[in-house]
């Protein structure tokens, strides 16, 4: 295996700084793409989709769990998938292992769920084995075909307005799913984004200061979220904010 050359610390630092310029360009381009997503047109979901959940039948609106946004990953775990019923799709399982703690998404008014065609009993068994706590529902109608995930995995983003009307706002599949898993990546594909003041979002979008909403995943109900995030005690962890 032909490895890169061995250099001095000074030469390595110079090479790193040169690459950092290109990395910053990618970061800014990624932020610009997310800003474009927030301005994408949306399509109304007119059909009444039904799913089976752990406690019985539910609607697409129920999947929001009362929040403003919903991200739905189509997980292939069902008859016809390799190793059924012992396990689900290896790629989808790899994906599920990377999903960040959902409390962080929930705190941004966003719900994340998996959907499959497996019966709930099999889903609960598979979740228990893998240690996943992601809400997971059984598709019972044409949802997968209607949203481009009947033959391949994919992630759909939806938005619910004040009148409980549902809109499809974004879709990504194939290698586009590879970058997902962190709370940031999921928020970047939603209609409202990360909801932080530095973002380029349409006028009137909800936005708060960076860091102010970040919290320990088991303390989001605490009233001191902003105080804790902005306190002197967390300053060394927080550091200064760079927007470039």
> Are the C-beta atoms of residues 98 and 85 closer than 8 Å to each other?
no
Separation of alpha carbons 114 and 92, rounded Å: 10
Separation of alpha carbons 93 and 114, rounded Å: 11
Give the 3-state DSSP-derived string for the chain, with helices as H, strands as E and coil as C.
CCCCCCCCHHHHHHHHHHHHHHHHHHHHHHHHHHHHHCCCCCEECCCCCEEEECCEEEEHHHHCCCCCEEEEEECCCCCCCCCCCCCCCHHHHHHHHHCCCHHHHHCCCEEEEEEECCCHHHHHHHHHHHCCCCCEEEECCCHHHHCCCCCCCEEEEEEECCCCCEEEEEEEEHHHHHHCCCHHHHHHCCCCCCCECCCCCCCCCCCECCCCCCCCCCCCCCCCHHHHHHCHHHHHHHCCCCCC
For residue 227, pLDDT beyond 90: no
Res. 44 pLDDT band, cuts 50 70 90: very high
> Are the C-beta atoms of residues 35 and 75 closer than 8 Å to each other?
no
Domains and CATH numbers, the chain: 43-188 (3.40.30.10)
For residue 228, pLDDT beyond 70: no
For residue 243, pLDDT beyond 70: no
Residues whose CB falls within 8 Å of the CB of residue 66, separated by 6 or more in sequence, listed in order: none
Is the entire prediction scored with pTM above 0.95? no
Res. 211 pLDDT band, cuts 50 70 90: confident
Q: What is the pLDDT of residues 152-203, one digit of tens each?
A: 999 999 999 999 999 999 999 999 888 899 999 999 999 999 999 999 999 9
């Amino acid at each position: 295996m032909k490895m890169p050359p061995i250099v001095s610390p000074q030469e390595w630092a110079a090479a790193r700084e040169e690459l950092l310029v290109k990395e910053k360009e990618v970061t800014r381009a990624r932020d610009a793409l997310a800003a474009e997503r927030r301005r994408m047109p949306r399509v109304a979901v007119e059909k009444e989709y039904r799913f089976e959940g752990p406690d019985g039948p539910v609607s697409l609106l129920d999947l929001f769990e009362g929040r403003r946004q919903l991200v739905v990953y189509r997980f292939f775990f069902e008859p016809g998938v390799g190793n059924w019923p012992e396990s689900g799709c290896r790629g989808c399982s790899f994906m599920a292992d990377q999903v960040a703690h959902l409390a962080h998404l929930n705190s941004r008014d966003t719900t994340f769920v998996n959907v499959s065609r497996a019966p709930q009993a099999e889903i609960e068994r598979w979740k228990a084995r893998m240690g996943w706590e992601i809400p997971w529902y059984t598709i019972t109608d044409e949802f997968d075909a209607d949203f481009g995930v009947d033959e391949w995995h994919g992630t759909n983003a939806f938005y619910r307005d004040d009148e409980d009307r549902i809109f499809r706002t974004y879709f990504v599949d194939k290698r586009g799913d590879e970058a997902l898993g962190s709370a940031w990546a999921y928020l970047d594909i939603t209609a409202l984004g990360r909801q932080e003041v530095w973002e380029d979002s349409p006028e009137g979008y909800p936005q708060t200061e960076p860091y102010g909403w970040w919290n320990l995943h088991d303390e989001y109900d605490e009233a001191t979220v902003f105080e804790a995030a902005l306190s002197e005690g967390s300053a060394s962890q927080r550091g200064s904010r760079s927007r470039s």
